[in-house]
Structure 1
Amino acid sequence: MSSTLSGRSVLVTGATAGIGYEAARQLAERGATVLMHGRTPAEAQAAADALVATSGIDSSRLVPLAADFTHLDEVESLARTVNRAHPDLFCLVNNAGMAAPERHTLTADGNEIALQVNFLAAYLLTNLLQDALTNAPGGRVVNVSSSLHRTAAIQWNDPHRLRRYSRLAAYAQSQLALTVFASDPRVTAVSVHPGVCDTGLLHLYGNEGETAAEGAGHVVRLVDPATEIVNGAYYDRDRCVAPAPVATEERTVKRLTKLADLLVSHTG
């Protein structure tokens, strides 16, 4: 696996903890240059320093980057930085995510916070990095989604759930949107449920989970160019399975693209 990733650049969002951190470790150990995204510069740098200290990874293969996904202008700034320094980005791992809060919360951009952090930021970042991702042969996007997308419905007329809010429904909606987005024809993308892992989101699923490193392994396998992928495919850990039927409907893909474009358009 190391030979296939050697010299390739991979951006992992949410790389300061959990699956993202372990994915960054595994990718760097296999020779990739890993762009480690964190919410703040200090968090990103601390995560990179920790990997160097605990894994002996050459610090030159880790590039800490920061953007707070509750602010879409920071997502745009992150994309500009990546496009300048890595115009042939091989893979974007949209891993950053959060549980929806107990109380209904809107970002400064006016979006329900879980929808923005878990989906809209990934949507915007992917589109802004489209040229870099398509410059590299075999370039791809891996969306770290969730089996909870099967329980979800996108509230087209009230995506921010202003009328009726449930934190679980808001989280599930964001994961369904991320899964649908893998079928967007503009880039080659897949989505993956990495298993129920012992991370900050474990409480949404139950009390026990696999390790974050095990979950990261399923993500890293899809990053590897030796793994052939089909645009829109959905993986439950290491098995390619059918997602929720709505996730691959052409009408739904187009409708979600139109909605997402509307919700991120005011950033410029």
Structure 2
Amino acid sequence: MSTTLSGRTVLVTGATSGIGFESARTLAESGARVLLHGRTHEEARAAADRLIATAGIDGALLHPLAADFSRLEEVEAMAHAVVRSHPLLHALVNNAAMAAPERHTLTGDGNEIAFQVNFLAHYLLTNLLEPALTSDPGGRVVNVSSSLHRTGAIQWNDPQRMRRYARLAAYAQSQLALTVFAADPRVTAVSVDPGICETGLLALYGHEGAPAAEGAAHVVRLCDPATEIVNGAYYDRSERVAPAPAATEDRTVKRLNKLADLLVGHTA
């Protein structure tokens, strides 16, 4: 258990189950203040109550937050609320993710749903939280990615995959985008593949998974200021490895930012 996490403030998206829930638990057990994001207030509050009841976490360390990532206006509202109430944020864990559905699905914002929930919402959230993450040196972002990002391709001319949709390709595109985004110079960020774990995404991999707590340990380690990180680095569990070549190309980072700004209507 890290003592260097004590007193730090960390926001974990998708903290109501799986790796997000276990990351929130480990962070809070280490004395961090955890902003616990769920899709609804009820889900976030229930997750906090579960941590208090089952792990003996001090309720004062848990702050439930809600935003449905398929609605960008909710992401924006949550981000503004966080900056107001927590002007100093030490780490952001971009963990919330969904498996792309079998059928092509657009959100109300007009984006392919997995691309929005897994990447665009986190892009918008990270940018809006930049003032809180950079108000003190050492703020960092941990993007929970996947080895499947290596099979992905960003369809620049058809990011919504209107012309040709395949579930696995849509999911891989969202994970590649999230991994590329870690190389953005605005906030120090890394990506991590936490390994195949027993989460809601397991069906995509078709394997048995390790306990979610094992994956969470790799995420929490990267939140710890005792772990030195380099912007844009990619980890396969605890080992730093090279990501897909696109994730280290400046041109790709800039092109993705331009596309994401357009799709989220980002003006901040």
- Determine the structure 1 residue equivalent to 2:263: 263
Whole-angstrom distance in 1 between the partners of 2:34 and 2:14:
12
Whole-angstrom distance in 1 between the partners of 2:44 and 2:110:
26
Conserved? CA contact 1:72–1:267, under 8 Å: no
Whole-angstrom distance in 1 between the partners of 2:3 and 2:188:
22
SS at match of 1:164: coil
Whole-angstrom distance in 2 between the partners of 1:100 and 1:216:
22
Deviation at 1:267, TM superposition (A): 8.3
- Determine the structure 2 residue equivalent to 1:251: 251
- Determine the structure 2 residue equivalent to 1:127: 127
- Determine the structure 2 residue equivalent to 1:199: 199
Q: Which runs of 5+ in 1 are unaligned?
A: none
Conserved? CA contact 1:112–1:161, under 8 Å: yes
Whole-angstrom distance in 2 between the partners of 1:258 and 1:20:
29
- Determine the structure 1 residue equivalent to 2:99: 99
Question: 5 Å matches for 1:123-162?
Answer: 123-162=123-162
Conserved? CA contact 1:73–1:267, under 8 Å: no
Residue by residue over 1:84-112, the C-alpha shift from the partner in whole angstroms, topping out at 9 and shown as x without a partner, is: 11101000000000000001000000000
Conserved? CA contact 1:25–1:51, under 8 Å: yes
1:29 maps to a residue whose letter is: E
* 4+ long deviations beyond 3 Å: none
Whole-angstrom distance in 1 between the partners of 2:127 and 2:215:
26
- Determine the structure 1 residue equivalent to 2:17: 17
Q: TM-score, normalised by structure 2?
A: 0.98
Whole-angstrom distance in 1 between the partners of 2:23 and 2:189:
17
Whole-angstrom distance in 2 between the partners of 1:225 and 1:247:
24
Question: 5 Å matches for 1:183-262?
Answer: 183-262=183-262
- Determine the structure 2 residue equivalent to 1:86: 86
1:116 maps to a residue whose letter is: Q
SS at match of 1:10: strand
Taking a change above 3 Å as real, the CA distance of residues 54 and 34 of structure 1, as seen in their structure-2 partners, is same
CA RMSD of aligned residues (A): 1.0
Whole-angstrom distance in 2 between the partners of 1:266 and 1:251:
20
Whole-angstrom distance in 2 between the partners of 1:57 and 1:199:
22
Conserved? CA contact 2:37–2:64, under 8 Å: yes
Is residue 66 of structure 1 aligned with residue 76 of structure 2?
no
Whole-angstrom distance in 2 between the partners of 1:252 and 1:141:
19
SS at match of 1:5: coil
SS at match of 2:265: helix
Provide the identity percentage.
77
Q: Which runs of 5+ in 2 are unaligned?
A: none
Residue by residue over 1:195-225, the C-alpha shift from the partner in whole angstroms, topping out at 9 and shown as x without a partner, is: 0001110111123011100000000000000
Deviation at 1:266, TM superposition (A): 6.8
Whole-angstrom distance in 2 between the partners of 1:32 and 1:137:
17
Number of matched pairs: 268
